[in-house]
Structure 1
Amino acid sequence: MDLMDNELKNKLADEPLTEEGFTDSLRQRIEARINEESIRPMPWKPWLGATCALLAFMAMLLLVDGQRLTSLLRFNQPTFEDHTQHAGVRQPVEDHWESSIRSALLLGLRTDLPATGSRQEYSTYRTVLIAPEHNRLQKTAEGEGILMPYKMDFWKLGGQRLMTEEKEARMITAAKAAAKPKLEAALASAESIAKPFKLSEKLLFAGNRYITVAQTVQTQDPASGKPVKYEYVWVKELLHIAPPKREISLKPLEEPHVSLRGLLAAYAEPILQELQPTLPSQPGESESAAGVPDTSGESWTIVRKQGQWIAQLADYGSAENLTGTLGYRLKDVPIELPSSVVAHDKLAVSWNEIKRLQPSAVDVFTSPKHDFVAVVTDRSIIVYPYIDQLIPSQLMTMPLQANESVVMAQWATDQYVESWKRQAKAFLEPQ
């Protein structure tokens, strides 16, 4: 306290003032004191500078990652529910979502055409490559047949009509794509397939080494003379259907194929004991050959189920049905298929999450880089971005034909994307 403060204090401590309480002299002293306080330097506070620096750093982080943060938060906002109600409407897409994609999806598609009049049921095939181009995810190549990657090459699979003097067949064949194989045209005329086939095949699955075919053999019962149809499923290696010339055989069990035991070795034993399948009958065999236990799992298939490729074992123990068809019943195999059969088959999102986003979904594929998700419905394939989680904004939609389904999904990443784009255009599109 200085001299001015002491003097003022003594004045106020005396008995009641003899003059008016607030004199001019007192007012001047108070104003002078206020002026002195206002010009004193403020003490230095070291924590204040640190606080300002921290606030500036946080603001910079928010600015740099603002778009990404907005993308993540948007998933939980009401627009997600709105999107499920209007799944067919393309929502706004952030440019950086597509420009950051480093994956390409090679899809093999099969269309089943029903029998009409004298024309038999048959299937056609096409391949589509979905890849980034000019910072946009789009369809970059499309063509007939199934373009399947195998080792360091691409192979072309498709239906081919084979005939002998006594037999006629429509079989799945394969050849190196670079050889430009002549496969049957996708839209074959009704006249070209009006005659019933003794043997017909349909592709169910194509991986990077193995394929699955459904096989039908039509013949006559030697005792009654009535027509009989035998139905089978087989897993084969690609080279099993790629000899210089495939032979027409009405003994499918004797044709090259991969048994479940041949693939899984000792792991197949408990599965076969649990499921107890029976071997298929073949044309011309006696009734005593029916019902023989299948100890190797000769007949099985690979199918899609809730976004995964799974194995199903065929059991031929059921009796002949009323239509004269000797078929089979499929049973789920309780084991995960190895990566040598199905690669990149892990989902980044749950099936329940996919159904919430797209209630009409029947299948889904997610990229190995976890940068986009392809949802399959009966009518289209819808692609969504994935940035740490699924973003409900459509990147693209590709229509599907009626009765069209996915039989192959192969992925390329990083530097292989451009290589696949070049080769797919060369092998799929007319030159």
Structure 2
Amino acid sequence: MMKVKRYIIILITIFISMFISCKSVNKKLEKMNSFKFIGVWKINSVEVFDEDEADYTDNMLNKEIKIGSNEIKILDNNKKQVRYKLKAVKSDYMLSYEKNVSISKYMNGKEFIDLISVIDNNQVVGEFFLNSDTEMTFIYHGYLLNLTKISENVSFRSDEEEKDINSEIKYDDFDTLEGVMLGLKTPREELDDMSYTEESYRTLWISHHNYRLGYVYAKENIIFPRLSGIWSLRVKENSKDGFIIDEFKVGVYGEVSSEKNEISNNFVTNIYKSILFVGNDYIAIQKYVGDNFQGNYPIYEIIPVSNINIDSGLQVNEIFNEKEKEKYLNELKNKIDSLSDEEKERLNVGTYDESNVAIKRELGKWRFIGKILPKNMNEDGEEFNIGILPEKRFINYNTMYISWKDLKSELGLFKDAFISPLGKIALIQFDKYISIYKIENGMLITEPIEMIPIDENEEVIMAEWCDGSYVEQWEKVFLDGDVILDDNY
């Protein structure tokens, strides 16, 4: 009996402790609500975490953010019935994964800092912390905003105005039809006899009509759009005299005779090629040339589709303008300076290859990357990021309407993310499937519409989107392909 009483007392003690703890946190947040962050704030400066948004920073300066007890207006984005969540974070808390920026620079010697999340429909709209009673740092999508309080009093638009705006949005978005060609690559794998498998490629077709999925198809090789129609790209492995040379075959889809074949017949060494990116007019590859392939690709190249088996890729001067080239050289120098003496010893740090540049997926964007060549070309080189996003001639669409950080906070661990140009759906790549999510009012609805199974090793090397009448045109190419998911229209 005594044991039971003791057990009950312990439970009551725990419950009271939890209640007091929660109450103290709520009181702390209530106090902050009452005296600190409620009010009208002016944007003094903008730090860009997302290069795509850099052109819009001037339009944000001196604009207002209004924060109420249960409503917030961030620029033109008004959210009603929001709630605030307070948490104490340490210096390693990440503000931007794209820029690798942590909160440490704002700690000012503190062990913790109070971070407040703005939550709407169980999703984080933004985050902020107070530097003082009148100074705030606000993280919103791809921006870090420095704010100054200009008023304690807050007023929002009337309910009738809000209804009018919402009705206009719903009317404009009434009929949405989107599709995407998603190119997938299965990389080579080493076999027990030290040889390697061939790489394989396929293309998925995914479409939706007002969020209802159509058939999801899959076809071998890479199928991609160009101004002249739909094209096909495949890799053919040629072997002769003990050597292997990978050859690209490309042409208008369905017209085998139009495939371009410009490869040399001179088999004097191995040439292994692996595709990193496919665009309308250019592809990016990694390549090995030599007699002892060990799974490494020290060479990067960007290649025109019109001359796809060319021996070397575009030169730096053909890829970047003068300002961009200067940035590229600075990134290269910074990478070399960060290397240890042991790392420098195995690399050609004294010279750089004018064409050793590629395009690759990273943090939800197609990005330029470079590589420092190794002295032993059987080894891998040293990759470095180039802080320049590819322009329109390389990729038509390269935007993330929802930041990587926001997606990570909602979905946890995932490999990649693709958001449609109309901002209606998101394709999130996990280890063994691609989940399709609905987006409403710029926010991700975290219950997936559908999950498409993929191989754990598959990598996305292309995402070409279309909408409207193009959806039906593009889909025709896939009608004789494998059906991954049934029609949901």
Same fold (TM over 0.5): yes
Structure 2 distance, partners of 1:276, 1:371, is 38
The question of 1:209 aligning with 2:284 is answered no
Q: Which amino acid aligns with 2:315?
A: S
Match of 1:173 in 2: 249
Q: TM-score, normalised by structure 1?
A: 0.61
Structure with the higher fraction of residues in strand conformation: 2
Match of 1:346 in 2: 399
CA deviation map 1:170-196 (0-9, x unaligned): 33332221214799xxxxxxxxxxxxx
The question of 1:198 aligning with 2:270 is answered yes
2:438 aligned to which of 385, 410, 421: 385
The question of 1:235 aligning with 2:324 is answered no
Match of 2:116 in 1: none
CA deviation map 1:58-92 (0-9, x unaligned): xxxxxxxxxxx99x99x9345x69xxxxxxxxxxx
Q: Which amino acid aligns with 1:262?
A: E
Which aligned pairs between 1:244-393 and structure 2 lie closer than 5 A?
A: 255-276=311-332, 293-294=351-352, 297-316=354-373, 318-320=374-376, 325-388=378-441, 389-393=443-447
Structure 2 distance, partners of 1:379, 1:199, is 31
Structure 2 distance, partners of 1:364, 1:227, is 30
Q: State the 1:212 CA deviation.
A: 1.1
1:270 is paired with a residue whose SS is: helix
User: Alpha carbons of 1:393 and 1:198: their partners in 2 closer, same or farther (altered >3 Å)?
Assistant: same
CA deviation map 1:372-404 (0-9, x unaligned): 111111221111111212222211110111211
Q: Which amino acid aligns with 1:369?
A: L
CA deviation map 1:202-229 (0-9, x unaligned): 1111111111111112327xxxxx9998
Which aligned pairs between 1:113-192 and structure 2 lie closer than 5 A?
A: 113-118=188-193, 119-132=195-208, 136-165=212-241, 167-180=243-256
Gaps of 5+ in 2: 1-78, 84-118, 125-170, 260-268, 336-347, 484-489
Which aligned pairs between 1:85-124 and structure 2 lie closer than 5 A?
A: 100-118=175-193, 119-124=195-200
Structure 1 distance, partners of 2:381, 2:252, is 33
User: Alpha carbons of 1:240 and 1:416: their partners in 2 closer, same or farther (altered >3 Å)?
Assistant: same
CA deviation map 1:222-253 (0-9, x unaligned): xxxx9998731111011222xxxx5xxxxxxx
Structure with the higher fraction of residues in helix conformation: 1
Contact preservation (8 Å) 2:437, 2:445: yes
Contact preservation (8 Å) 1:219, 1:228: no
1:390 is paired with a residue whose SS is: strand
Gaps of 5+ in 1: 1-68, 82-95, 184-196, 221-225, 247-253, 279-289
Structure 1 distance, partners of 2:187, 2:258, is 21
1:391 is paired with a residue whose SS is: strand
CA deviation map 1:34-76 (0-9, x unaligned): xxxxxxxxxxxxxxxxxxxxxxxxxxxxxxxxxxx99x99x93
1:154 is paired with a residue whose SS is: strand
Contact preservation (8 Å) 2:300, 2:356: yes
1:127 is paired with a residue whose SS is: strand
Q: TM-score, normalised by structure 2?
A: 0.54
What is the percent sequence identity of the aligned residues? 17
User: Alpha carbons of 1:275 and 1:391: their partners in 2 closer, same or farther (altered >3 Å)?
Assistant: closer
Structure 1 distance, partners of 2:295, 2:178, is 48
Is the radius of gyration larger for structure 1 or structure 2?
1
2:202 is paired with a residue whose SS is: strand
The question of 1:411 aligning with 2:465 is answered yes
Contact preservation (8 Å) 2:372, 2:381: yes
1:395 is paired with a residue whose SS is: strand
Structure 2 distance, partners of 1:228, 1:409, is 26
Match of 1:397 in 2: 451
Contact preservation (8 Å) 1:104, 1:411: yes
The question of 1:76 aligning with 2:120 is answered yes
Q: How many residues align?
A: 300
User: Alpha carbons of 1:314 and 1:135: their partners in 2 closer, same or farther (altered >3 Å)?
Assistant: closer
Q: State the 1:411 CA deviation.
A: 0.1
CA deviation map 1:80-108 (0-9, x unaligned): 69xxxxxxxxxxxxxx9x98432111100
Structure 1 distance, partners of 2:296, 2:429, is 33
Structure 2 distance, partners of 1:228, 1:126, is 21
